[in-house]
Amino acid sequence: MDFIKEFWEFLKIRKKYWLLPIIFVLVLFGGLIILSQGSAVAPFIYTIF
């Protein structure tokens, strides 16, 4: 949690709010790939890419 807290402080101080959507999408895709490993949904997710 310290990393997230420090990263948020960095974004606030440096005014780099434009990084938030990029990081959100990367985390979303990472979670989607992790959750799709070994599931029946995996073939449908791979067709998206």
Looking at the chain, the whole-number percentage of residues with pLDDT higher than 90 is 18
pLDDT value at 9 more than 80: yes
C-alpha torsion 37→46→19→7, nearest 10: 10
pLDDT on residue 49: 67
pLDDT on residue 26: 92
pLDDT on residue 21: 92
pLDDT value at 25 more than 70: yes
Q: Are 16 and 23 in contact, with CB atoms under 8 Å apart?
A: no
pLDDT on residue 24: 93
Looking at the chain, the whole-number percentage of residues with pLDDT higher than 70 is 90
